[in-house]
């Protein structure tokens, strides 16, 4: 930025929520979004993505707040995708609780964390931005302005290149921009959020105090003939007062007047201003009124040269029709896309066809089309380095209590009926350190609109009849036809099996401590695959592998590009002759060759998907990496 510049280098985009907003980096589902998603977002006409990150949760915590290196491993991928596509990418520090005031001592944490991020990305792409903290609140304008200034200075000791996103207190309110100090830094973009009128944009929201879940049908703009009554549970609250004043606050004129506050700051300070969040919660808002609000807000922001990113892409404020599968080619809310001035893509009806081949459920990462949705879960780590049977990581599940669950949701739902008929099985590698360990693996089908239907379960119990719990890897293979119907828990009521489980509409896979709590016990899971072959193979028969000799160096391998299209190049500085194996998503070796210094693999004929590269050398030295084949076939 230069002094006096009042526009941003980007104009419109989305927030990719629920991706890096996890309790730790070990729970981030890195495959939730792909390069294709970035391409699709760009095809809408977006040029910026705001990426909310629970940044402080990705560290060791107090007192040092050391960033887990795995975070950078994961973040480097979307950073590279954005650079490749020419998209702007905002790393938004979203470590906040809307119902807990910002800690007045947060400055020291922010300085420690951001210096590490800046050190990692200081030589990174110019289209990368650092947003210091999302929605500080319950802290005075003066104190927050001072804290933010010190954090800016701290970042600049490491990175003088990248533009920073800064905002005011009051949940990044437009009224809190003017009290900010005049920061001397000339590479700043000032942000605010816009959710007015709040009783319209947040009707149905359960996280508000008091809960607005009972409020529904508030129109926009205000229409006295359509105003709902105040729900009894909200009588006497600020929400009831807001509904009384809605004749003024719920008008287009009022919305524009509020946006003018941010624009006046932009003009008076001669700085670029950006609306980082705007949106209307879907469940209880009238669909046409929701679209009308976006039309009004978007067009007025753009008339003032204020860039924006809508909250969110998928989710309760998202761009997709409710009740669908959130699929780009099938489920976009087209009136909303038009209201946002975006490019309307061709939409076709979604047809759920039977699966005709196997699929990876977990192999270092969750497979495509799988969303993590666990319940409780004990200490759950999807990227544990605890002696994986193959690859880099395993799932480590420590001490789950009874009924706590690892939930893996298929999006969209899957039709496994043909796989059952063709003899497919669930293959997985498993080990435990607790004799007597017993848990269920189960599929759940989809509850239909039939009031007599329930989410029926098909299960297999994994215990010492299938595995020996001696810390060693065990290969378990269960044909889908061997799963047994278990019944259903629905609306706090248990329903006995009725033979109604539907393999043609499977909603999710669960791993659940059904029989007992594991207390201090641990389960490790690896290579979970649906396959018509026996893909499970024990590659490490020891309880825990012997470590490398202290003087033995690890292999240094570089594989690029990732994702690959026509060719994949591997380079190494190792002087020895190495062995390279490439395994497809089902664990089958499709390449077995030698590597010395440099190797180019043609990959154009490989199906699109995830592959494992494994390079082995003398002794126990090895290297493995996941790569994506990105293509049309």
Greater confidence, 535 or 495?
A: 495
At residue 73, the pLDDT reads 94
Residue 534: band (very low, low, confident or very high) from pLDDT cuts 50, 70, 90: low
Q: What is the dihedral of CA 129, 134, 138, 139, to 10 degrees?
A: -10
Side by side, the strands of the sheet bearing 557-560 are: 557-560, 567-572, 598-602
Buried residues in 247-261 as b, exposed as e (16+ CB within 10 A): eebbbbebbbebbeb
Phi and psi of 100, rounded to 5°? -125, 130
Alpha-carbon span 6 to 306, nearest angstrom = 9
Q: What is the mean pLDDT of the chain?
A: 91
Q: Is the pLDDT of residue 550 over 60?
A: no
Radius of gyration of the chain from Cα atoms? 26
Phi-psi region of 292 (alpha: psi -120 to 50; beta: other; left: phi over 0): alpha
Alpha-carbon span 134 to 90, nearest angstrom = 12
Per-residue pLDDT tens over the stretch 223-251: 999 999 999 999 999 999 999 999 999 99
Per-residue pLDDT tens over the stretch 433-465: 999 999 999 999 999 888 889 999 999 999 998
Residue 542: band (very low, low, confident or very high) from pLDDT cuts 50, 70, 90: very low
At residue 563, the pLDDT reads 74
Give the whole-number percent of the chain exceeding pLDDT 70. Answer: 94
At residue 40, the pLDDT reads 97
- Confirm if 15 and 313 have CB atoms less than 8 A apart: yes
Q: Is the pLDDT of residue 547 over 70?
A: no
- CA separation (Å) from 73 to 28, 69, 120? 12, 7, 11
Residue 1: band (very low, low, confident or very high) from pLDDT cuts 50, 70, 90: very low
At residue 105, the pLDDT reads 94
- Confirm if 593 and 603 have CB atoms less than 8 A apart: no
Alpha-carbon span 598 to 582, nearest angstrom = 16
At residue 321, the pLDDT reads 95
Q: In the block, which residue shows the tokens 């003024």?
A: 248
- Interval 406-424 mean pLDDT: 96
Sign of the CA dihedral with 175 first, then 180, 182, and 188 last: negative
Q: Is the pLDDT of residue 611 over 50?
A: yes
At residue 553, the pLDDT reads 45
At residue 536, the pLDDT reads 57
Residue 323: band (very low, low, confident or very high) from pLDDT cuts 50, 70, 90: confident
- Confirm if 477 and 466 have CB atoms less than 8 A apart: no
- Token pair of 256 as six digits: 């524009």
Identify the CA nearest to 601 among candidates 609, 610, 617, 590. Answer: 590
Greater confidence, 616 or 408?
A: 408
Q: What is the dihedral of CA 381, 384, 387, 389, to 10 degrees?
A: 70
First to last CA, the chain: 43
Helices 141-156 and 106-121 cross at an angle (nearest 10°) of 30
Greater confidence, 34 or 551?
A: 34
Greater confidence, 391 or 480?
A: 480
Alpha-carbon span 133 to 145, nearest angstrom = 12
Length of the chain equals 633
Q: In the block, which residue shows the tokens 């009224």?
A: 175
Q: Is the pLDDT of residue 552 over 60?
A: no
- Token pair of 348 as six digits: 């076709």
Alpha-carbon span 88 to 393, nearest angstrom = 31
Which residues, 6+ apart, have CB-to-CB distance to 518 below 8 Å? Answer: 378, 397, 398, 399, 400, 401, 434, 437, 439
146-160, 460-474, 552-566, 606-620: range with lowest mean pLDDT: 552-566
- Interval 304-330 mean pLDDT: 95
DSSP annotation of 59 reads B
Q: Is the pLDDT of residue 307 over 80?
A: yes
- CA separation (Å) from 567 to 79, 570, 623? 22, 10, 20
Residue 526: band (very low, low, confident or very high) from pLDDT cuts 50, 70, 90: very high
- Interval 111-127 mean pLDDT: 97
Q: Is the pLDDT of residue 540 over 60?
A: no
- Confirm if 84 and 124 have CB atoms less than 8 A apart: no
At residue 597, the pLDDT reads 87
Greater confidence, 30 or 535?
A: 30
At residue 543, the pLDDT reads 41
């Amino acid at each position: 930025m230069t002094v006096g510049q009042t526009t941003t280098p980007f104009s419109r985009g989305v927030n990719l929520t629920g991706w890096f907003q996890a309790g730790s980096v070990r729970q981030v589902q890195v495959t939730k979004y792909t390069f294709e998603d970035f391409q699709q977002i760009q095809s809408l006409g977006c040029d910026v993505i705001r990426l909310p990150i629970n940044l402080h949760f990705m560290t060791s915590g107090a007192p040092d707040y050391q960033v887990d290196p795995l975070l950078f491993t994961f973040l480097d991928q979307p950073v590279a995708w954005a650079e490749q596509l020419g998209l702007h990418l905002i790393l938004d520090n979203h470590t906040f609780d809307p119902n807990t005031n910002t800690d007045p001592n947060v400055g020291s944490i922010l300085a420690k964390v951001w210096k590490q991020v800046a050190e990692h990305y200081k030589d990174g792409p110019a289209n990368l931005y650092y947003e210091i903290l999302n929605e500080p609140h319950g802290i005075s304008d003066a104190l927050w302005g001072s804290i933010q200034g010190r954090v800016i200075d701290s970042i600049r000791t490491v990175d003088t290149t990248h533009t920073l996103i800064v905002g005011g207190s009051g949940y990044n309110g437009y009224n809190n921009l003017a009290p900010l100090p005049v920061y001397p830094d000339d590479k700043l973009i000032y942000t605010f959020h816009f959710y007015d009128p709040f009783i319209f944009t947040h009707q149905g929201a359960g996280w508000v105090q008091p809960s607005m879940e009972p409020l529904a049908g508030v129109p926009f703009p205000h229409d006295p003939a359509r105003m709902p009554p105040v729900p009894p549970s909200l009588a006497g609250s600020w929400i009831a007062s807001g509904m009384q004043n809605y004749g003024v606050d719920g008008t287009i004129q009022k919305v524009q007047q509020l946006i003018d506050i941010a624009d006046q700051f932009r003009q008076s300070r001669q700085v670029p201003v950006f609306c980082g969040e705007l949106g209307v919660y879907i469940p209880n808002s009238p669909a046409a009124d929701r679209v009308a609000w976006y039309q009004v807000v978007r067009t007025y922001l753009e008339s003032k040269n204020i860039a924006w990113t809508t909250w969110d892409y998928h989710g309760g404020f998202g761009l997709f029709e409710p009740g669908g599968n959130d699929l780009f080619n099938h489920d976009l809310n087209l009136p909303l896309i038009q209201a946002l001035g975006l490019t309307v893509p061709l939409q076709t009806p979604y047809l759920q066809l039977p699966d005709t081949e196997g699929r990876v459920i977990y192999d270092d990462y969750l497979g495509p089309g799988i969303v993590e949705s666990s319940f409780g879960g004990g200490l759950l780590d999807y990227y544990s380095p605890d002696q994986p049977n193959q690859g880099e990581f395993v799932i480590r599940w420590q001490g789950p209590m009874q009924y706590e669950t690892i939930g893996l949701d298929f999006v969209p739902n899957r039709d496994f009926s043909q796989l059952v008929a063709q003899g497919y099985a669930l293959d997985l590698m498993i080990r435990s350190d607790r004799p007597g360990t017993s848990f269920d693996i189960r599929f759940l089908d989809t509850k239909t609109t039939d009031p007599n239907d329930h989410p029926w379960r098909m299960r297999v119990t994994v215990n010492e009849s299938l595995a020996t719990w001696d810390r060693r890897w065990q290969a378990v293979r269960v044909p889908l036809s061997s799963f047994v119907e278990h019944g259903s828990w629905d609306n706090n009521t248990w329903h006995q099996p009725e033979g109604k489980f539907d393999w043609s509409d499977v909603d999710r896979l669960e791993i659940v401590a059904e029989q007992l709590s594991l207390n201090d016990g641990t389960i490790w899971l690896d290579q979970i695959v649906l396959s018509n072959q026996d893909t499970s193979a024990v590659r490490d028969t020891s309880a825990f592998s012997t470590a490398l000799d202290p003087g033995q160096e690890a292999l240094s391998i570089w594989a690029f590009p990732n994702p690959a299209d026509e060719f994949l190049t591997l380079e190494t500085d190792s002087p020895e002759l190495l062995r390279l194996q490439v395994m497809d998503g089902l664990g089958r070796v499709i390449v077995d060759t030698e590597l010395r210094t440099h190797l180019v693999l043609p990959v154009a004929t490989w199906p699109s998907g995830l592959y494992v590269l494994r390079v082995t050398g003398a002794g126990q030295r090895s290297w493995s990496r996941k790569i994506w084949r990105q293509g049309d076939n």
